[in-house]
Structure 1
Amino acid sequence: MSSDITNQISAGMDFLSSADLILKKTLTTVPSGRPRRRRPSKDKGETKEDVDEDDQYISGILQELRVELDVKRREEERLQREIADVLTECASGSSGGEQSRAFGMAVSRLNNAMLVVEADAKQLAASLRTISRLADNISGKVSALDVAKTRVVECLQLAGDMHDLGVCSEEVDQCINNEDYEQAAQHIHRFLTLDRAVFQFSSAADKEAGQSVSHSYEILTNATARLKEILERKLEAAVDTDDVAAMQRFVKLFPLINEHDSGLVRFGKYLSRQIAKIGEDNLKIMNAGGLDDKRVEVLYADTMFLFLEGVAALLETNQPLIESSYGPDKLLDFVNMLQVDIDQVVGKVIDAFERKRQLEKRVRAAQKILRDDKNVDKGEERLDALELDPVLSEICLMNTHTEMYWRFVRRRIKGASKGEKQEEFVMVNADDFGDLDEEKKKQLEQEKVRRKEERERKLDQLLNRSLVGSKMQELLGNYILLEQYYMEECVRKAIDMDVREEGLLSSVVDDVLFLVRKCVRRATSSGSVDCVCAALNNGVALLETTFYQYLFGAIQSGYPSTNFAAEALQTAQNAYNVIQHGKATEASADIQKESFLTATNNARGTADLLLELRKGLEQEWRKTQRSEIERGKLDNAASQLTDLSRKMHHLASLGIESLCKTIFRPKLKSSCDAYADINHTLTDNQLGEFEAVDPFIEQFNANLDKQIAIFEPVLHKDNFQTLLLTVCGEVERQMERVIMKCTFNRLGVESLAGLLGNDVLAWRRLWLCSMLRMSRKLWNFERQQRLPRLLGYSLHRMQSKFFYSGLTCLQLLSRSSICEWPGFVHNCNLFGF
């Protein structure tokens, strides 16, 4: 037993010795690095500092590695000592034998388990090798089957093609001789769609079959050329005799023999002749002056409409034939072929319009006037705007008819493209049979994208680069120029003929805005979004310049002063005019007053009407379906009306401020100065008298109400509200200036609250709010500590009148300046603010 323990201990020590040897081999010292190469002597001085830094860095790293290595070695020695102590204790102790037996049994069980695992692993490896050989065998057989299947399919297809080739070669001549051209075309179409592999035979075994195929190939080739010649001759004869049935019969046979262009060209001759006939009939009517004398002003627009309507009917009638036989791509090519004849007729109509309406002469005159407007007062050298009105309307109508025709063509072509369901398969290698579906889908998608791009390019070329498109673009350019001149002339006349009508606004507001609305709507009727935006831009520019300057000039002249010096000067001027001229002139001050007030009201009314104009235009535009880009253009152009409306509001506010500065400020200053003459060091009796009747506030309110009441019937509602706000602000400033100069005792401060307690008129509530805002500044003075409580008491006393008046004081008061007052916050909570 002791010998077994000794053997186990010896084996354990041998294991430890071998592990120690392995660890020593692994944890060797860090080898010395490769010695540095010597640098050239000329660089020693320049790089000495860099070399020293590198050496220090490497030395530091080596030192750290050595320290870490020593730590590991000491840990290794400690572990070895612990293992040796455990083994020694096991060998010498009483329980050493049992532990050794347990250890030996565990090792035996582990050895047996490892043997079982090894056997199972070998069995598994053998099974895997068997399965791999079987999988390789099956894969090879499946691949062979796929190849065989592909070759069988190719053979069946080749056999079928050879059979069809033989049948076609036997029957094609008979069909041609019997004038069964439809069946003959079907045979030739089948021949042209056969796989080229049918005609390739190289081995000697296929020599006989090759001779038969070659013979059939020659027969069908000759039959193709003969049938082509016959179809061309028959179609030309049908075109010459206007035999529609024969044309429809023969024209759809050309695609079967791959002669698409030949059939379209010959059939296009017939349609070109029909288009020329339609154009000639309409031109004769146009040259004769039309059929209705009432539509002479739109003669050329009606001519274009009738011609394009006839062309559209012709295309609609023949579209199914071309689309079904030739496809949507050839339909677009066919329309392009006919566009040449359409351009000729439309060009004649436009040339006649420009000649008869003297368009070029009028455009040159308008350009000269707009470029160098020096002869404003010489009416004989200017174009008559009324004469331009029917010309502009006719141009818009002509473009409308053209856009309708383009929409018809675009809808027909896109409708044919959507209905197209073609599947084109590309021949691939037979070994890729399993991937044919994915390859076909990818190739079909690429082909669809390419065709769509090509179709869009041709359609764009048809719509924008044809003679009709370029002529109409040139005509619209002239229209925009004449429309700009028309608006400027009409606005100038509206300003010259401006008169005060019943109401607060003058005639120029309605005239100018009606003119702009009319021109924009007329441009909208043309169907061109760019034309609408250009007309709207010109209208807004005209309102911002000519019309705005007209109103600004009247407002800038100001409201005439009504003080004693001004009245004396006016009386002296009237007396001088009577002495010099023998008659009195009109009161220029009254004229200036009316002009100022009318201009201020016009600015405010124009601002409101501009917003209504935008709303009305947007409602009209929403009725027509447009693209996102077109809607964006219209919205951007219409936003200028909102900007101009804000500018008009600002102009009206400037006029009201000028009115307040001229009329109210001098009188308010003198009225507020009277408050400084009142004694503010009061007794209890005097305070009671002030609370009963305050002479200053009664007189102040009466005078201010009288001054403001004068302007209520002559000012626009919004202008009058602005005047009230402006006057209240002026009262605040003047009263603040005077109160700061006064001295109050406690009772005088309480009397100051009486300024807030009198509420007779609705407008004065605004003034009370201004007084509250002004009194906030008094909060900074220690001698008026009771003022917030007094103001809060006054607000509570005025609750029923002040809060329910419909004019919220919070529109005037700033929370940041008043909400710090406890009394005010308390009463605002009571009011429900």
Structure 2
Amino acid sequence: MAVTFPSPTPRSPRRPDAIVAPDPSSADMSPSLDFGDPTSFTALRVLTDGGAATRLLHECVAYQRALDARLDALLARRADLDRAAASLLRSAPPLLSLAASDAAALKESSSSTAALADALSSRVRHLDAAHSRADAALARAEAALDRSRALEATRRALAADDLAAAATAAHEFLAIDARFPTDDDLRRDLIDIKRRLEGLARRRLAAVVDAQDHPAVLRLVRLFPLLGLADEGLQVYVAYLKKVVALRARADFEHLAELTSATQPTSDRPDFVGCLTRLFKDIVLAVEENDGVLRELRGDDVAYAIIELQEECDSRGTQILRRYADYRKLARLASDINSYTKNLLSVMGSMASAAGGNEGPDPREIELYLEEILALTQLGEDYTEFMVNKIRVLRDVKPELGPRAMKAFRNGNFNKMEQDLTGFYVIFEEFFMVENVRKAIRIDEPISDGLTTSMVDDVFFVLQSCCRRATSTASINSVIAVLGGATSLLSNEYQEALQWRMREPNLGAKLFLGGVGVQKTGEEIATALNNIDISSEYVLKLRHEIEELCVELQQLHHL
């Protein structure tokens, strides 16, 4: 069928060529304005130059002619478009009819397939539900058989006095019952047997604990988690460990008490450090060697065992330290030192006053006590650091146990007793340092073939020893007290001793007026100057050494 097209819109008549005389070259140039853009009218309205207006007119005429040429080319293609449209209209109806029939057939096929799939999936769901019910029924049947077998195994094991097998079978029964809860005769029979089994386990565990049969204790305590008594088993086992530690510590302490109370001299001397070491060793071994058992009983409560064993350390360790303080009469000795001098570092303790007066406690005896106190406090500090780090590396620790454990170690009775010993240490160290420095000043004498007198090396050896001991205590209060005392001694008594020979009357006359003693006096003055010079070097070395020791101790405590 023929398709009618609307008649083309008549073109506006061209302007007569006589109106303008365009330049032939202007057709090849691109127009300065886009005459197809409505905004070009704004530029034309503001145009005032005649030459520019003429040029734009020529460009506009050329633009219009180009549009005419394009319209003519499009109109020339009209016949081809008419033929193509007619051919399409002739061939379209058969193709559209075929496509419609195919689409209908595809729809019918898809609908039937969807219905079949829906029916099949429904059957699959029903089959799956039936399979699940069958599995559940089989599982319940198997569970019922397993429960019967477990109950029978529990009875046989209990009759044979095999508590481990009975507990294992009862645990298996309870595990099955937790998955398939029931309230039948089998469960009630099992509960009765379990009560009898719990009673037997408790009685026998108490008996082997009293007998300290460690293998039997381990064997019986492992039954408690199987019977659902993990907390009770942990408490009983930790109490057993405390009892073992307490028995050994009591035996050591009684032997120590006998030695310290003996009226007749014996070959054995009280070993407080050894006694305290054995106590700490027993506690550490109780934690380390029984770590697996403790985790088996209650994996997240190893910290509980450490806290309970620390109570034994607080009790026995405090007894040992208090016994040492009584044996050495530290309180009376500290009182004697305080009464001997009210201020050991006073400037009034000059050479003259140091040379006379009553003798105080023997510094050599004090040095022995200092070494003993230092050994005891360092041992306690090492033990505390080890146990605290042990708690820090534990995983799955209950939130309330962490602060409780730290408080048990940092604020316990043993720690308080250690602080008391540290207080005695500071008093004794200051006394030892002052007395030995004063003694070194009193017995000062020239050294043969030496440039200084004996006082310089002796004083700084004493200060070095005291400062090293103070830093070894890892107590900031001790370090500050001892360093303050050393500073006071150097700036007062030692400085006065260095300057004493330089203040001799008529020193210039002795040197320059001649005489037999001129050479000797010159040597004494040179030695005094050397003392000052070497002392300044020793002060710097001592300061550097103390700083290095403090840094090392700080690094060790941060590890």
TM-score in terms of structure 1 length: 0.47
Q: Structure 2: which amino acid aligns with 1:189?
A: H
Contact conserved, 2:170 with 2:227, CA < 8 A, in 1? yes
Pick the aligned partner of 2:410 from 464, 472, 481. Answer: 464
Aligned to 2:75: 100
Pick the aligned partner of 1:393 from 353, 371, 374. Answer: 371
Pick the aligned partner of 1:340 from 304, 311, 334. Answer: 311
Aligned to 1:474: 420
Matches within 5 A, 1:118-517: 161-194=143-176, 196=178, 198-199=180-181, 213-289=183-259, 296=269, 299-310=271-282, 319=290, 322-323=293-294, 325-364=296-335, 369-370=342-343, 373=346, 376=349, 377=353, 379-380=357-358, 382-403=360-381, 405-406=383-384, 450-451=396-397, 456-457=402-403, 459-501=405-447, 502-517=449-464
Q: Shift of residue 500 of structure 1?
A: 3.4
Aligned to 2:534: 601
Q: Structure 2: which amino acid aligns with 1:599?
A: I
Contact conserved, 1:239 with 1:270, CA < 8 A, in 2? yes
The sequence identity of aligned pairs, in percent, is 19
Contact conserved, 2:464 with 2:542, CA < 8 A, in 1? no
Distance 1:100 1:607, change over 3 A: same
Q: Structure 2: which amino acid aligns with 1:221?
A: I
Contact conserved, 2:301 with 2:398, CA < 8 A, in 1? no
CA distance in 2, matches of 1:180, 1:100: 112
Distance 1:594 1:108, change over 3 A: farther
Q: Structure 1: which amino acid aligns with 2:460?
A: L
Distance 1:272 1:490, change over 3 A: same
Task: With a CA cutoff of 8 Å and minimum separation of 6, indicate the structure with the bigger relative contact order.
Answer: 2
Contact conserved, 1:185 with 1:253, CA < 8 A, in 2? yes
Contact conserved, 1:560 with 1:593, CA < 8 A, in 2? no
CA distance in 2, matches of 1:410, 1:146: 57
Contact conserved, 2:377 with 2:418, CA < 8 A, in 1? yes
Contact conserved, 1:252 with 1:321, CA < 8 A, in 2? no
CA distance in 2, matches of 1:595, 1:91: 120
Q: In the TM superposition, what whole-angstrom CA distance separates every residue of 1:750-774 from its partner, at most 9, and x where no partner exists?
A: xxxxxxxxxxxxxxxxxxxxxxxxx
Matches within 5 A, 1:804-815: none
Contact conserved, 1:484 with 1:535, CA < 8 A, in 2? no
Q: Shift of residue 219 of structure 1?
A: 2.6
SS at match of 1:289: helix
Q: Structure 2: which amino acid aligns with 1:231?
A: A
Distance 1:375 1:286, change over 3 A: farther
Q: Shift of residue 550 of structure 1?
A: 5.1
CA distance in 2, matches of 1:454, 1:257: 27
Q: Shift of residue 539 of structure 1?
A: 4.7
Q: Shift of residue 568 of structure 1?
A: 5.8
CA distance in 2, matches of 1:498, 1:250: 73
Q: Structure 2: which amino acid aligns with 1:604?
A: E
Contact conserved, 1:283 with 1:349, CA < 8 A, in 2? yes
Count of residue pairs brought into register by the alignment = 486
Q: Shift of residue 372 of structure 1?
A: 8.7
Contact conserved, 2:345 with 2:488, CA < 8 A, in 1? no
Aligned to 2:17: none
CA distance in 2, matches of 1:152, 1:84: 93
Q: Shift of residue 180 of structure 1?
A: 2.0
What runs of 5+ residues in structure 1 fail to find an aligned partner? Answer: 14-71, 200-209, 418-447, 576-583, 633-833
Contact conserved, 1:322 with 1:331, CA < 8 A, in 2? no
CA distance in 2, matches of 1:171, 1:612: 73
Q: Shift of residue 232 of structure 1?
A: 0.9
Q: Structure 1: which amino acid aligns with 2:330?
A: L
Q: Shift of residue 235 of structure 1?
A: 1.5
Distance 1:568 1:100, change over 3 A: same
Larger displacement relative to structure 2 (83-92 or 383-392): 83-92
Q: Structure 2: which amino acid aligns with 1:541?
A: G
Distance 1:150 1:522, change over 3 A: farther
SS at match of 1:504: coil
Contact conserved, 1:483 with 1:519, CA < 8 A, in 2? yes
Matches within 5 A, 1:612-631: 628=555, 630=557
Q: Shift of residue 392 of structure 1?
A: 1.4
Q: Shift of residue 276 of structure 1?
A: 3.6
CA distance in 2, matches of 1:387, 1:504: 33
SS at match of 1:258: coil
Contact conserved, 1:396 with 1:522, CA < 8 A, in 2? yes
Distance 1:629 1:99, change over 3 A: farther
Distance 1:598 1:228, change over 3 A: same
Q: In the TM superposition, what whole-angstrom CA distance separates every residue of 1:358-390 from its partner, at most 9, and x where no partner exists?
A: 222334555673489588448538544333211
Distance 1:283 1:148, change over 3 A: same
Q: Shift of residue 181 of structure 1?
A: 1.4
Aligned to 2:490: 547
CA distance in 2, matches of 1:461, 1:387: 36
Q: Structure 2: which amino acid aligns with 1:299?
A: D
Distance 1:324 1:566, change over 3 A: closer
Q: Shift of residue 258 of structure 1?
A: 2.2
Matches within 5 A, 1:709-788: none
Distance 1:408 1:558, change over 3 A: closer
SS at match of 1:179: coil
Distance 1:242 1:91, change over 3 A: closer
CA distance in 2, matches of 1:146, 1:492: 100
Q: Structure 2: which amino acid aligns with 1:392?
A: L
Contact conserved, 2:470 with 2:478, CA < 8 A, in 1? yes
Aligned to 1:518: 465
Contact conserved, 1:551 with 1:600, CA < 8 A, in 2? no
Distance 1:268 1:608, change over 3 A: closer
Q: Shift of residue 469 of structure 1?
A: 3.1
CA distance in 2, matches of 1:106, 1:489: 128
CA distance in 1, matches of 2:501, 2:130: 104
Q: Shift of residue 186 of structure 1?
A: 1.4
CA distance in 2, matches of 1:558, 1:628: 45
Distance 1:248 1:383, change over 3 A: same
Q: Shift of residue 311 of structure 1?
A: 5.1
Q: Shift of residue 176 of structure 1?
A: 2.3
TM-score in terms of structure 2 length: 0.66
SS at match of 1:333: helix
Distance 1:372 1:535, change over 3 A: closer
CA distance in 2, matches of 1:251, 1:312: 21
CA distance in 1, matches of 2:126, 2:437: 90
Distance 1:325 1:559, change over 3 A: closer
SS at match of 1:230: helix
Q: Structure 2: which amino acid aligns with 1:492?
A: R
Contact conserved, 1:406 with 1:463, CA < 8 A, in 2? yes
